[in-house]
Amino acid sequence: MTAGITTAGLGLAGIAGLAGPAGAAEWTATEKANVQVVNDFCAAWPSHDLNRVMSFFADNGAYRMTEAQEPVKGKQAVTDRIKSFLDIVQGFEVIETFAKGPMVFNERHDHFTGGGLKMWHGVGVFFLKDGKIVEWYDYTISLERA
């Protein structure tokens, strides 16, 4: 009986050891490059330079401002959407970033100077191809109204 308890105890200890957090894999060169594109994109917003911000998008890019909206598709539609609020963006504060293959995920606080919004807290999901953003979808965690 003692051997059975010991074996069971060792089995549970082994399972408990496997249940701990696994170390994140090192980013590949492509993932590092994609993260840099997204970081540069986020850093471009305070310039209020529409051409600079749009230079990060692929011609067939898509953007969805929140999970409650349908995405706009195509460079002109994305340009029009971004132009509608670019001037009230104070900046994007990237809190944490993850990358996996062509995907980059960042948690952000986006700060605004108008439009009834002071701060948006959420997660951006970016799909990149050939160094350009093909899709950018944002998901809201919380809002702080002005």
Nearest 5°: the CA angle 73, 112, 82 is: 20
| Residues above pLDDT 90, as percent of the chain | 83
In the chain, where do the E strands start and end?
Answer: 57-64, 72-73, 89-100, 103-114, 117-129, 132-145
Taking the C-alpha atoms of residue 145 and residue 95, their distance in angstroms, rounded to an integer, is 20
Please answer whether residues 53 and 41 qualify as being in contact, where contact means their C-beta atoms are separated by less than 8 angstroms. Answer: yes
* Nearest partner of 40 among 54, 23, 27, judged by Cα: 54
Taking the C-alpha atoms of residue 110 and residue 29, their distance in angstroms, rounded to an integer, is 28
pTM equals 0.83
pLDDT band at 24 (very low <50, low <70, confident <90, very high): confident
- The predicted-structure confidence for 25-69, as pLDDT tens digits, reads as follows 899 999 999 999 999 999 999 999 999 999 999 999 999 999 999
Per-position b or e across 124-139, b if 16+ CB within 10 A of its CB: bbbbbeeebbbbbbbe
pLDDT above 90 (res 17): no
Dihedral angle sign, alpha carbons of residues 137, 141, 144, 145: positive
The per-residue pLDDT for 12 is 42
